[in-house]
């Protein structure tokens, strides 16, 4: 019997059946609910921004794939994911040129000039976002209120973080908490959030500001994909169940940030230590999107679990510093990029523990005598 068609190859002869493409598409799936929520609350324009971002990223990837012997990565979903993340990081009212530039910068400069998939040293989507953020600060800071908060002027609103930052800048805080500041400025909240807040106050005796409730469910102004903390967490749980991300980065990041924000976050409001409203901080801005979907980017995070914890703690620290003491209201993307730069160093020095105990060699008697 001859067996000409059988394969002879090195072991192992089984595989876990995962692939780079399956990982990328799963992350995109996990992001979809939060993106759809953004489309729902910000309207058709949000969808258009998402599509433009994705189309640009995929197109640039395709053009670069055409060139010479570049690896053909168009179908692995990584460009789609980068485009989706760029779009989710845009305000719904950004000019269409902004996502186009951001996506093109992400794929062309950040990803491909360093060698394509796996070779970039910062997260492409984040770098794209930061690039346009500093290039078109005005355009990137114009948010619209979600449809669920449509009691007020829809376009040109500030996010809760900007509102707080402005108030502090004007010295108008007078020892108020963050929620107090928002209430003072008359920042709106939904009726739903109001009733949840009072239920917490009356039934459980816990003070939960309606702004936190709105931030958690996504009834706040912000970028398309970052507003619904709830749906982002749901997506992250999906990724954890599928073992695509682990708890190490998000938990160490969010825990560090919360701890610091709780400890020192009240200081700038003229309050003492242990007065920071870290819960509102956690659910607003790009915190959840950053912690679960940006910081966990495999290419730009450490490979060891210990390294991942250090990486997460570092992001939490920088995110706190930048958000509370920096001049910009938003900080997560910069914090992640800062720590991306440390990843090669972390991977160099934080090694997994080698298997094998140390055995005490019997002491040489002769040497003593």
Partner 1 sequence: MERIPTFRKGGVHPDDKKVLSNGMAIERLPVPAELIVPLSQHLGAPATPLKQKGDTVVAGEKIGQASSFISADIHSPVNGAIVDIKKVNLANSVVTEAFVIVPDAENPLGNWPEQPYDMLSPQEMLAIIKDMGVVGTGGATFPTHVKLAVPKGKSVDALVVNGVECEPYLTADHRLMLEQTDLVLRGIMIVAKITQPKRIIIGVENNKKDAIETLRQVIASNSYPITVTPLKVKYPQGDEKQLLKATINREIPSGKLPLDVGAVVLNIGTSFAIYEAVALRKPLVERVVTVSGEAMSTKRNLRVLLGSKVADLIAFAGGVAHEPDKYISGGPMMGFAFHDDQIPVIKGTSGILALDNDPAMKAPQTPCISCGRCVAACPMGLQPTKLFRLIDNRMYADAMGMNLMDCKECGCCSYSCPAHLPLVHGMKLGKRLGRK
- Does 247 bind partner 1 (CB under 8 A)? Our answer is no
Q: Name the burial class of residue 69, with classes exposed (0-12), middle (13-18) and buried (19+) by CB atoms within 10 angstroms of its CB.
A: exposed
Tally of CB atoms within 10 A around 90:
30
Closest to partner 1 by CB, 111 or 323? 111
Sole binder of partner 1 in the list 204, 355, 365, 366 (CB under 8 A): 355
- Does 62 bind partner 1 (CB under 8 A)? Our answer is no
Residue count of the chain, please give it. 369
- Does 6 bind partner 1 (CB under 8 A)? Our answer is yes
Among 164, 231, 221, smallest CA distance to 189 is for 221
Closest to partner 1 by CB, 6 or 202? 6
CB of 87 to partner 1, least distance (A): 22
Among 226, 241, 346, smallest CA distance to 293 is for 226
Sole binder of partner 1 in the list 16, 241, 367, 369 (CB under 8 A): 16
- Does 117 bind partner 1 (CB under 8 A)? Our answer is yes
Closest to partner 1 by CB, 33 or 116? 116
CB of 353 to partner 1, least distance (A): 5
Sole binder of partner 1 in the list 204, 359, 367, 369 (CB under 8 A): 359
CB of 355 to partner 1, least distance (A): 5
Owner of token pair 């990837």: 61
Subset of residues 308 to 327 that bind partner 1, contact rule: CB under 8 A? 308
Using the contact rule CB under 8 A, the part of the chain among 4-12, 34-42, 151-159, 278-286 near partner 1 is 4-12
**What x-and-dash track marks residues 268-307 binding partner 1 by CB under 8 A?**
------------------------------xxxxxxxx--
Closest to partner 1 by CB, 106 or 164? 106
Per the CB < 8 A criterion, the answer to whether 224 and 35 are in contact is yes
- Does 241 bind partner 1 (CB under 8 A)? Our answer is no
Sole binder of partner 1 in the list 67, 353, 360, 368 (CB under 8 A): 353
- Does 367 bind partner 1 (CB under 8 A)? Our answer is no
Burial 163-189 (b: 16+ CB within 10 A, else e): bbbebbeeeebeebbbbbbbeeeebbb
CB of 249 to partner 1, least distance (A): 11
- Does 65 bind partner 1 (CB under 8 A)? Our answer is no
CB of 217 to partner 1, least distance (A): 32
Report d(CA 123, CA 112) in Å as an integer. 12
Subset of residues 322 to 351 that bind partner 1, contact rule: CB under 8 A? 347, 351
Sole binder of partner 1 in the list 27, 62, 85, 118 (CB under 8 A): 118
- Does 116 bind partner 1 (CB under 8 A)? Our answer is yes
DSSP annotation of 12:
P
Residue 239 phi, psi dihedral angles, 5° rounding: -65, -35
**Contacts of range 39-46, beta carbons closer than 8 Å, 24 or more positions apart:** 39/224, 40/147, 41/146, 41/147, 41/148, 41/218, 41/219, 41/227, 42/92, 42/144, 42/146, 42/147, 42/224, 43/92, 43/147, 45/92, 45/93, 46/92, 46/224
Using the contact rule CB under 8 A, the part of the chain among 3-11, 95-103, 197-205, 334-342 near partner 1 is 3-11
Helix (H) or strand (E) holding 143: strand 143-144
Instruction: Provide the H-helix boundaries in the chain.
Output: 20-42, 44-66, 78-88, 97-104, 124-135, 137-140, 160-169, 178-184, 191-199, 210-217, 229-241, 248-264, 278-283, 287-289, 305-325, 332-349, 365-368
- Does 119 bind partner 1 (CB under 8 A)? Our answer is yes
Binding site for partner 1 (CB under 8 A): 1, 3-23, 71, 73, 76, 116-119, 298-305, 308, 347, 351-359
């Amino acid at each position: 019997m001859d067996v000409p068609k059988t394969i002879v190859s090195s072991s192992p002869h089984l595989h876990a059946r995962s692939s780079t493409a399956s990982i990328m598409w799963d992350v995109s799936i996990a992001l979809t609910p939060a993106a759809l929520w953004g489309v729902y609350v910000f309207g058709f324009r949000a969808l258009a921004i998402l599509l433009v971002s994705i189309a640009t990223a995929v197109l640039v990837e395709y053009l670069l794939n055409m060139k010479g012997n570049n690896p053909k990565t168009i179908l692995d979903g990584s460009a789609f994911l980068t485009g989706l993340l760029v779009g989710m990081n845009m305000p719904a009212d950004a000019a269409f040129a902004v996502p186009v530039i951001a996506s093109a910068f992400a794929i062309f400069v950040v990803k491909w000039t360093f060698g394509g998939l796996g070779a970039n040293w910062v997260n492409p989507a984040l770098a794209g976002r930061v690039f346009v953020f500093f290039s078109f600060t005005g355009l990137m800071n114009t948010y619209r209120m979600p449809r669920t908060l449509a009691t007020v002027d829809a376009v040109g609103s500030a996010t809760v973080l900007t509102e707080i930052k402005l108030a502090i800048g004007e010295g108008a805080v007078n020892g108020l908490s963050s929620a107090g500041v928002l209430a003072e400025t008359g920042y709106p909240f939904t009726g739903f959030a109001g009733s949840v807040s009072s239920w917490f106050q009356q039934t459980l005796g816990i003070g939960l500001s309606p702004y936190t409730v709105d931030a958690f469910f996504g009834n706040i102004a912000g970028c398309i994909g970052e507003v619904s903390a709830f749906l982002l967490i749901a997506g992250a749980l999906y990724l954890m169940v599928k073992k695509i991300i682990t708890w190490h980065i998000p938990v160490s990041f969010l825990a560090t940030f919360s701890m610091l924000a709780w400890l020192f976050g009240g200081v700038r409001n003229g309050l003492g230590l242990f007065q920071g409203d870290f819960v509102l901080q956690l659910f607003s801005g790009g915190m959840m999107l950053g912690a679960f979907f940006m910081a966990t980017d495999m290419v730009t995070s450490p490979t060891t679990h210990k390294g991942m914890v250090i990486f997460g703690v570092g992001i939490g620290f920088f995110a706190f510093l930048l958000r509370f003491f920096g001049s910009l209201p938003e900080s997560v993307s910069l914090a992640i990029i800062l720590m991306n730069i440390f990843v090669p160093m972390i991977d160099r020095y934080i090694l997994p523990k080698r298997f094998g105990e140390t055995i005490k060699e019997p002491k040489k008697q002769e040497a003593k005598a």
